[in-house]
Amino acid sequence: MAYYALVGTAGIRRSRTPRLGRPVGISPSVTAVGGVVLLLPDGEAVSGRGPSVRAHAAALPLGRRLARAGHAEGLVAHVVHYRGRGWNGSDAQPAADASWAVTEAVRRYGDVPICLAGHGMGARAALRAAEDPAVDAVLALAPWLPEEDVAAEPEPVRHLLGRRVLIVHGTNDARTDPELSYRLAERAKKSNRDVCRFEVHSDGHALRQYRDEVHALAADFVLGSLFARPYARPVADALAAPPPLGLRMPLAAGFGSAPGR
């Protein structure tokens, strides 16, 4: 990681540059990259600290699951290393780092389909960075969003037109209100029919209770969106259904484990 020193009244601070790091779970038998998933870890609302090692590690299992599921199509997954862990108001540094990661993925792999997949603050960064025309799909897990009544402006959604968007939120999330992601999805659905949202009953912010189901749902959505694999019936129904049905779709226990999904 590259650093340069900044000297001020608070002393010397280290400034970082974002990076992709090594691909996650890639197989030596993958010779041609057919698509890219950029995983954006969670973070903190306000912080001057460096990127969280724990949040980075938490993104790895999903990256490995997606790389395995998309092996036949040459899917590559990277966990983005932010410059820092804080969103910090209008700085929105993780969103800028996500945009950089898209540009870097295009530089490395060329014109291949790209999905931004984020959790918590990373989900908000994914939704923001989807304005890049190279982005084809967005997976937003438990997105951390501002309260609409205190936000200077509503979170932007018009740029999501032309992208397929899946939001997944636990109904017992104590860190970020699930209703905020519903309202964002509702606004986005008005101009983009390719938006859906699943609710994970009784699960919290980390989505640990039904992790297998959430990862199976994520893989189904990513492979269907990037490589035109047929979606599982619940995903196809959620995308086709008008609000509120397609935005409050319950994630069934055992999703992805039965034949035919």
pLDDT-based confidence at 3, cuts 50/70/90? very low
Q: What is the pLDDT of residues 19-54, one digit of tens each?
A: 998 899 765 556 789 999 999 999 887 777 877 789
Q: Which domain holds residue 152?
A: 19-250
CA–CA dist 90, 208 (Å, integer): 30
pLDDT of 242-255, one tens digit each?
999 999 999 999 99
Nearest Cα residue to 35 out of 70, 81, 80, 79:
70
The rounded distance, in Å, linking the Cα atoms of 115 and 133 is 11
DSSP 29: T
pLDDT at residue number 51: 79
Residue 14, amino acid: R
Q: What does the mean pLDDT of the chain come to?
A: 89
pLDDT of residue 48: 79
- Does 66 reside within a domain? yes
How many distinct structural domains can be found in the chain? 1
Asked whether residue 260 is assigned to any structural domain, the reply reads no
216: Cβ–Cβ under 8 A, 6 or more apart, which residues? 255, 256, 257, 261
**3 domain residue, yes or no:** no
Nearest to 58 by CA among 118, 124, 130: 118
Q: 244: cis peptide before it, omega within 30°? A: yes
**Confidence tier at 10 by pLDDT (50, 70, 90):** very low
Query: CA-to-CA distance for 145 and 119, rounded, in angstroms?
Result: 11
Is 13 part of a structural domain of the chain?
no
CATH number at residue 76: 3.40.50.1820
Q: What is the pTM of this model?
A: 0.90
Which alpha helices (DSSP H) does the chain contain, by range?
53-69, 93-109, 121-129, 178-189, 211-227, 233-240
131 in a structural domain: yes
